[in-house]
Amino acid sequence: MIKMKDVHKKYKNGVSALNGIDIHIEKGEFVYIVGPSGAGKSTFIKLIYREEKASKGSVVINDIDLGTLKEKEVPLLRRDVGVIFQDFRLLNKLTVYENIAYALEVIEESPKHIRTRVMEVLDLVGLKHKARFLPDELSGGEQQRVAIARAIVNNPIIVIADEPTGNLDPDTSWDIMQTFEEINTRGTTIIMATHSKELVNTIKKRVIAIEGGVIVRDEDRGEYGYEA
C-alpha cells in the first residue's frame, strides 16, 4: 500500500527534514505518527499526497511510484488520498453540503450520485441536519467532521490526518477518533500525525515515532512515548 525506501527530503533552504525513511504500511492499517515538533512528521505526510517530492529514495503508493508521477497525474493520486488538517481548511463561503460535494464535482460525478453520496457521509459523521449551514456557523468539532466527510466522500484508499484533534477539546477529540475508527473498519488505511498522548495510549494502534528525520520506533499497539 505505502512503501518508502531510503527516503530523504532536503528543502531548498537547506533544512533536511527526512534522513533515510524505510517504511511499509499495509492496506487497512491504522497508524499513528508521533514525535516532537520539527521531527519531520508533516513532511512524511506531505510525501504521501505528493505535496512534496522526495529528494532521494522512492515513495510508492498503491503501486504508483510518486518519483515518476507526472504533474498532470497528481490530481488523480489526490482522489485516492483523503487529507485532513488541524485547521479544517473548509471554504467558508460554501455550505457544509457544497464543501463536501465539491470533491465529487471535480471528478465529474453525476448530480444524483453526488446528492446521495454527500448525504451518506454527512450521516456517517452525524451532520445530516446541518447540511445547509456555513462552516462559520459550526463548532470546531463539527467543522472537523465536515473536513473528514469531504476527505472520505470519494471513497479514498488512504486517509491522512495531520493533527486532526489539535484544535479540539478532549470530548470532541474522542468523537472524532470514533469516526476515524469507523472509517478504518470499512477498510480505509488511516495515517494520523498527533501530539495527543491520551489518544495514542488509549486507542492502541501501530505507532511510528520520527525524530530528526529518521524512524526511531515502530511498534504495533505502541505507546506515545513522549511527555505531553
Give the H or E element holding residue 184: helix 170-185
Q: How far is CA 14 from CA 41, 55, 72, 105, 213, in A?
A: 18, 12, 28, 39, 14
Residue partners of 161: CB distance under 8 A and separation at least 6? 83, 84, 85, 180, 190, 191, 192, 193
* Torsion angles phi and psi, residue 144, rounded to 5: -65, -35
Query: Which of residues 106 and 216 has its CB atom nearest to other proteins in the complex?
Result: 106
SS3 of the chain: helix, strand, coil, percent, to 5: 35, 25, 40
Closest approach of other proteins to the CB of residue 142, in Å: 18
Strand partners, 75: none
Closest approach of other proteins to the CB of residue 187, in Å: 15
Closest approach of other proteins to the CB of residue 181, in Å: 23
Closest approach of other proteins to the CB of residue 18, in Å: 20
Closest approach of other proteins to the CB of residue 37, in Å: 22
Closest approach of other proteins to the CB of residue 167, in Å: 16
Query: Which of residues 93 and 129 has its CB atom nearest to other proteins in the complex?
Result: 93
Query: Which of residues 102 and 226 has its CB atom nearest to other proteins in the complex?
Result: 102
The residue ranges that bind other proteins (CB under 8 A) are: 49, 62, 64, 72-73, 75-80, 83, 89-91, 93, 102-103, 105-108, 110-111, 150, 154
Residue partners of 22: CB distance under 8 A and separation at least 6? 4, 5, 6, 7, 215
* Torsion angles phi and psi, residue 214, rounded to 5: -130, 155
Query: Which of residues 17 and 39 has its CB atom nearest to other proteins in the complex?
Result: 17
Closest approach of other proteins to the CB of residue 108, in Å: 6
Query: Which of residues 68 and 221 has its CB atom nearest to other proteins in the complex?
Result: 68
Give the helix ranges, DSSP H, for 6-163. Answer: 41-48, 74-78, 96-105, 111-124, 140-152
Query: Which of residues 64 and 214 has its CB atom nearest to other proteins in the complex?
Result: 64
Query: Which of residues 85 and 224 has its CB atom nearest to other proteins in the complex?
Result: 85
| Angle of the 111-124 helix axis to the 140-152 helix axis, nearest 10 | 130
